[in-house]
Amino acid sequence: MLVRLNVIDREGKTTALDIEEDTTIRDAIEEKLSPDNYGVCGGNCACGTCHALVTPSDFEKLKAAEEDEISTLKEAAIKPTTHSRLGCQIELKKEHNNITVTIAPD
Ligand code: FES
C-alpha cells in the first residue's frame, strides 16, 4: 500500500510523494528529493540532519519519540521545536497518509 507524504523543501516548495508503507520519512525524502546535507548518517539516529518539522495537527498521529531520537534531536539537530522529529525514526504507516513535514534548515 502506498502512503502519501507531503514534503515542504528548504525553498518552500511542496511535493507529494507516494511511497511504500514502512518506508522511513528519511528514506522517502532522500530517494525522491535528495536534499543536500540530508540524512547523512544513513538513518542511524546519529547525525540529526534528517530533522523534519511536522505539521502540528499531524504530529499527534506519530508514535512517540524514543530516548535516542530525543537526545539526537537535542544534541545534533539545528533549532529543534516541539514538533521536530527525526525522519529516520518514523516509518510511514497507513494512518500517516497525507501528513505534511517540512525539511528543517541545514
Ligand atoms: S539520518 Fe542521521 S539522524 Fe536520521
**Partners of residue 17 on adjacent β-strands:** 5
Q: For residue 44, give the 3-state DSSP assignment.
A: coil
How large a percentage of the chain has pLDDT more than 70? 100
Q: Which of 50, 66, 69, 75 to mutate to test the pocket of ligand 1 (most atoms within 8 A of CB)?
A: 50
Domain at 56, CATH number: 3.10.20.30
- Residue reference for cell 500500500: 1
pLDDT at 103: 98
Per-residue pLDDT of 52-70, as tens digits, reads 999 999 999 999 999 999 9
- What would the mean pLDDT of 90-101 be, rounded to a whole number? 98
What is the domain count for the chain?
1
Q: 41 CB under 6 A from ligand 1? A: yes
Alpha carbon distance 55, 89 (integer Å)? 17
Q: Is the CB of 33 under 6 A from ligand 1?
A: no
Name the residue range of residue 52's domain: 2-103
Give the model's confidence band at 5: pLDDT under 50 very low, under 70 low, under 90 confident, else very high.
very high
Mean pLDDT of the chain: 97
